[in-house]
Amino acid sequence: QVQLVESGGGSVQAGGSLRLSCTASRYTYSSSCMGWFRQAPGKEREGVAAIYRRTGNTYYASSVKGRFTISQDIAKNTVYLQMNSLTPEDTAMYYCAYGNAIYRDYVLTSKEYTYWGQGTQVTVSS
């Protein structure tokens, strides 16, 4: 079992920045992957970014590439999502997720992940 605890959400004006954090209780495999997903009311959950623990390779949705950065602090079992140039379209509940042995073509696919955090709300006003 892996517990994930997110923090860092909040309200910000368009053009602003936020940094989300997600701390995992443990990592069970070196091939683990951490992802950030978001879900706005009435919309499907969308993969935003992902990072492999062992290699540090990162992947982004086209909607956030160049604005969001995912990173990790292995010693702290923590993954971050730095979000810059936020727009109202980024408003959503953001979730972090943990999975093992996810093929890179599916790192932004929610069903590939086993454990999920409780979510943190991000609201961007115009």
pLDDT class for 123, splitting at 50, 70, 90? Answer: very high
Residues 6+ apart with CB under 8 A from 122: 9, 10, 12, 18, 20, 38, 83, 86, 90, 91, 92, 93, 94
Q: Give start and end residues of each alpha helix (H) in the chain.
A: none
Q: What are the tens digits of pLDDT across the range 74-98? A: 999 999 999 999 999 999 999 999 9
SS3 category, 111:
helix
